Structure 1
Amino acid sequence: MTFQIGIVGIYHESNTFLGNSTEWEDFEGGHLLTGNHIIEEYRNAYHEIGGVVEVLSKEADVDLIPIFYAEATPGGKISTRASGKLLRNLEDYLVKAGHLDGLMVLPHGAAVSEDYPDFDGKWLRLVRELVGENVPIVGTIDPHCNLSDEMAAAVNALIAYKTNPHIDQRQTGRDAALLLLGMLRGEHRPVMVAVQTQVAISIEMQHTGSEPCLSLYRLAEEIATQPRVLAVSIVLGFPYADVYEMGSSIIVVTDDDTPQAARLAGRLKSYLETHHGVFSGKKIGLRELPVLVSKADKPLLLLDMGDNVGGGSPGDSTFLLDFLEECDFGKGFMCIYDPEVVDLFSQVCAGDSLSVQIGGKTDRLHGNPVSVTAELRAMVDGKFSEFAPRHGGQVSFDMGLTAIVHTNKNNTIMLTSRRIVPFSLQQLLSFGLDPCSYQLIVAKGVHAPLAAYMTVCKDLIRVNTPGITTADVASLCFTKRRKPLFPFEQIS
């Protein structure tokens, strides 16, 4: 017998605190792929689709059917227009695919649309309705998922990446594909228990390679060795979505043993809630920064947590640009989204200087525009590729038309016309910039940049800058989250 196995996915991390919405055109400018274009893009990528393709394309009894995949850079809620087009395309392409014996689904897990607060639950339920209750569905999720009951009910099993930065996405795809194959061949009967906790792990404490997450993940590894356990996932949660499901969750998948899955999930939940205090983090603000920077080894990575593009922020916060320009700690590098200033530099020649107002165009929450006089070093198309295992697993990146300028304060600023996640050193190397030549490098992220930038930086400081991705989530206005939830409320 040959198994017809499909691949579908809608992948977005939606920040509900951003005023701008994510539009259909953002998916078109990201990855909007159908058919074999999905395999061509990800076959060799360190991405979950790459892992799925690696496993299933080698099986003689499998016909792999890539159907539909849409991904956009994290941003605001998906607009009603965009969500409608995504759902219609998903349904049309899934129906055209015909009979399926099994399905791989690829949600992020933190997608919110203007009309569906649980957009992942919405499209996964649509998939289930279209293929029927008897078709096995297995999915991968980002651990920054805000897990809902609807998501869990629509599939047979979900497996989250185990690392943050996410460098195990391809392996997670392999694991999920093998689990689906086991179901189709009658080797396993997965049952899944998913439980929400009373904790929202603070964003700066979500590094899986250090404490306190390290001990939590070691316990999960121990549980994964228990008989009949097929998968264990820690869902760290995405704190920048004002939805009921916001917070940390646990998933345990066993082989036809629901009581064991519930018991083991409860054990992890109990550990997290008992040790909740150590997951709240200690914030470093702008006032403490000069002293800490003066003592740190260089090159030093400064992580702009309040303007974390990977968390949906606007990418034009200026607090750390102001710091680079005002404090003399050596040559610095920073990337800022500012299409207006890119347009100004596009009208002059390399070597020319302009006095411009950089950044701070979105709102005052992310700082005021900073006045600089800068020399244009190069105008580039902003396209680059990454083939090493890096957070996100993407291969192709596009910053749009980009101006590389050098300020009279000895800093290099990369001005982009599209928001860009700082996941790859190729963002510098591809355009002739040597990251090792800088004393300070600013990256607009929290953990994701580490996989790339800590190959050249000797130290790092996570800075709790103001913004819609501030580490101090208690300062954000939530109206829909569940209660009680630490750190907003104390729990016993």
Structure 2
Amino acid sequence: MSPRIAVLGLHLEANAFAPPTTEEDFAAQCLARGEEVSAQARAPSSALPAELPGFYARMDATGPWTPCPILVANAPPGGPIAQATFLDFLDGMRARLLAARPLDGVYVANHGASSATADEDSDGTLLAMVREVVGPHVPVVVTHDLHCNVSERLVEACDALVVYRTNPHVDMAARAAEAADALRELLAGGRTARAFVRLPLIPPTVTLLTDEGPYADLIRDAEGMMAQDRRLLNVSVAGGFVFSDLPKCGITVTVTARDGDRAAAEAAARRLAERGWAERHRHSRRLLSLEEAAALAVAAGEGREAPVIFSDAGDNPGGGGRGNTAWTLRALHEAGAKGVVLGLFVDPALAAQAQALGVGARFEAVFNREESEFSRRFAAGATVRALTDGRGTGRRGTMAGRDFALGPTALLELEGSGMQVVVISLRRQCHEPRTLEMHGVDIGAARCVVVKSRGHFRAGFDEFFPPNRIFEVDSPGLTSPVLSNFRWKRLPRPSFPLDPGAAWAGPAGG
């Protein structure tokens, strides 16, 4: 008989310093219920998180199954979910799960760093609900983004947790396929044991790349363990998401062992955690000051330096930033840097004004008419060079084959510097080249590209800029890698590097 598998997911990276996330935010990006989930998962492209098409493809390839799609909600990173919205999702998931019984298995595709305004562990709450509905013997497999904040309650409620292993994230479909294989194994009678360790180590997000560095080494160790020891079904090292500002923040190690072998899981988790802690001092990275960035951009524009790409890391919509700080924009414009392209600047009012004026119009462009702590007003003469409806499909990196919507957009050319700025209406990070190219921007001809993205742009723009031409800029914002800039309220303290003297005695009971 074809196994009946429930499929559901909640994707939000919650930044405690950003405004709450509402149902409208989910609806603007991806909110699918029932059979709409299956239809999108099997379509050539969709707005679903990439795990869902990956899971469906692997399950389809490995045998008969009956999908029981529940609900998938995906919003851009932002503030905690409004509690009423979260409870509405939770109730809807519960009702659909109850109606879908009997179930043989459950796949949950969560981001893993969500929270709600009155629930610090919304992911754990969701998994506890799933376990309550399906009972103790139905296998439940979960995938998470590597920027997840894992709770003990979530680990206890599932049979296996599979976390991304690439940053930028280009392995979502592969990890979903791994989850599908784990679920098939459990459906065939397998059983698991899990070990979990949380370190008092909360590194800045710019040190959690997986090509090289301390986190990359931990990921390689985890992959080596799985390859060498068949007892280990999965070894996941999650980097965490510090801006959630929660007690469950920090690097975590979750090991899932086959055949209920808890000793094997605990030994592997302890070994990885001990290496991570021993190498904690490697989690540091130098950022360019605004003055240094302006000087480098000028040199690149004059041909004295090769082209460069700047990450406006302090204002990354992919981490809950508003996408509307003008510090880097102003610095490069006032320095007169030539050949500069900046995207994506989130300013619905400015985009609407440009749309109304039309291509070719010259006007005084006012960025951020309503100022906030980090987003100061900036004005410059500008000409409208292109307008779009903001809809497209990604071609590279984390967005390859995925549909995106930016809202009404405009390409502005600033007088004096000639800087090109792509202004959008919906809050999205710039990690996909198509979002610039759709406006007629020739990225290959630019001398300096500024992206409001922390790291995912590396997988989209690597065809233009090698690693040695990538620089992070120390600009103010809700996602600044300089963690001492924030007034933390709920982080576990002491934690390194905020507390240089933080200590760790090893796994509990270890």
Whether the TM-score (by the shorter chain) exceeds 0.5 is yes
Could you tell me which amino acid in structure 2 is paired with residue 7 of structure 1? Answer: V
**Change beyond 3 A, Cα 1:230–1:143:** same
1:116 to 107, 119, 132: 119
Gaps of 5+ in 1: none
| 1:266-299 Cα deviation digits (max 9, x unpaired) | 1111001111101133333223323444566543
2:398 to 391, 416, 432: 391
Residue in 2 that maps onto 1:42: 41
Offset of residue 392 of structure 1? 5.8
**Change beyond 3 A, Cα 1:332–1:291:** closer
Contact 2:298 2:338 in 1 (8 A): no
| 1:147-179 Cα deviation digits (max 9, x unpaired) | 111211111111101000000111000000000
Within 5 A, what are the aligned runs for 1:102-181? Answer: 102-181=105-184
Is the counterpart of residue 431 in structure 1 residue 445 in structure 2? Answer: no
1:331 to 334, 339, 353: 339
Contact 1:35 1:67 in 2 (8 A): yes
Within 5 A, what are the aligned runs for 1:306-385? Answer: 306-334=314-342, 335-359=344-368, 361=370, 363-366=372-375, 368-385=376-393
Gaps of 5+ in 2: 504-510
**Change beyond 3 A, Cα 1:290–1:356:** closer
Offset of residue 393 of structure 1? 6.2
Q: Under a length normalisation based on structure 2, what TM-score does the superposition of the two structures give?
A: 0.92
Residue in 1 that maps onto 2:410: 403
Residue in 2 that maps onto 1:266: 270
Contact 2:309 2:449 in 1 (8 A): yes
Contact 2:291 2:331 in 1 (8 A): no
Is the counterpart of residue 244 in structure 1 residue 243 in structure 2? Answer: no
| 1:374-415 Cα deviation digits (max 9, x unpaired) | 111222111111254x22667111111112211112111111
Could you tell me which amino acid in structure 1 is paired with residue 158 of structure 2? Answer: V
Residue in 1 that maps onto 2:2: 2
User: Following the alignment from structure 1 to structure 2, what is the Cα–Cα distance between the partners of residues 339 and 146?
Assistant: 32
**Change beyond 3 A, Cα 1:295–1:305:** same
Within 5 A, what are the aligned runs for 1:448-487? Answer: 448-458=456-466, 459-487=469-497
Contact 2:239 2:252 in 1 (8 A): yes
Identity %: 27
**Change beyond 3 A, Cα 1:267–1:9:** same
1:204 to 203, 206, 227: 206
Query: Aligned residue pairs: how many?
Result: 488
Q: Under a length normalisation based on structure 1, what TM-score does the superposition of the two structures give?
A: 0.95
Is the counterpart of residue 192 in structure 1 residue 191 in structure 2? Answer: no
Deviates more, 1:432-441 or 1:247-256: 432-441
Could you tell me which amino acid in structure 2 is paired with residue 40 of structure 1? Answer: A
Contact 2:22 2:82 in 1 (8 A): yes
Contact 1:198 1:486 in 2 (8 A): yes
Contact 1:316 1:360 in 2 (8 A): no
User: Following the alignment from structure 2 to structure 1, what is the Cα–Cα distance between the partners of residues 420 and 198?
Assistant: 44
Offset of residue 15 of structure 1? 0.4
Contact 1:378 1:403 in 2 (8 A): yes
Contact 1:299 1:436 in 2 (8 A): no
Offset of residue 196 of structure 1? 0.5
SS of 1:270's partner is helix
User: Following the alignment from structure 1 to structure 2, what is the Cα–Cα distance between the partners of residues 263 and 192?
Assistant: 11
User: Following the alignment from structure 2 to structure 1, what is the Cα–Cα distance between the partners of residues 437 and 128?
Assistant: 43
Could you tell me which amino acid in structure 1 is paired with residue 149 of structure 2? Answer: N
| 1:66-87 Cα deviation digits (max 9, x unpaired) | 2210000111111122112211
| 1:1-56 Cα deviation digits (max 9, x unpaired) | 321111100110010011x2111111111100123322333335682112211111
Residue in 1 that maps onto 2:92: 89
CA RMSD between the two structures: 1.8
Offset of residue 185 of structure 1? 0.9
User: Following the alignment from structure 2 to structure 1, what is the Cα–Cα distance between the partners of residues 86 and 401?
Assistant: 23
Residue in 2 that maps onto 1:15: 15
Contact 2:386 2:440 in 1 (8 A): no
SS of 1:424's partner is coil
User: Following the alignment from structure 2 to structure 1, what is the Cα–Cα distance between the partners of residues 341 and 163?
Assistant: 33
**Change beyond 3 A, Cα 1:190–1:361:** farther
**Change beyond 3 A, Cα 1:38–1:393:** farther
Could you tell me which amino acid in structure 1 is paired with residue 23 of structure 2? Answer: W
User: Following the alignment from structure 1 to structure 2, what is the Cα–Cα distance between the partners of residues 206 and 354?
Assistant: 42
Is the counterpart of residue 31 in structure 1 residue 30 in structure 2? Answer: yes
User: Following the alignment from structure 1 to structure 2, what is the Cα–Cα distance between the partners of residues 247 and 360?
Assistant: 37
Contact 1:22 1:75 in 2 (8 A): yes
User: Following the alignment from structure 2 to structure 1, what is the Cα–Cα distance between the partners of residues 432 and 369?
Assistant: 24
Contact 2:431 2:456 in 1 (8 A): yes
User: Following the alignment from structure 1 to structure 2, what is the Cα–Cα distance between the partners of residues 161 and 66?
Assistant: 22
Contact 1:56 1:64 in 2 (8 A): no
Could you tell me which amino acid in structure 1 is paired with residue 474 of structure 2? Answer: N
Contact 2:294 2:332 in 1 (8 A): no
Contact 2:149 2:248 in 1 (8 A): yes
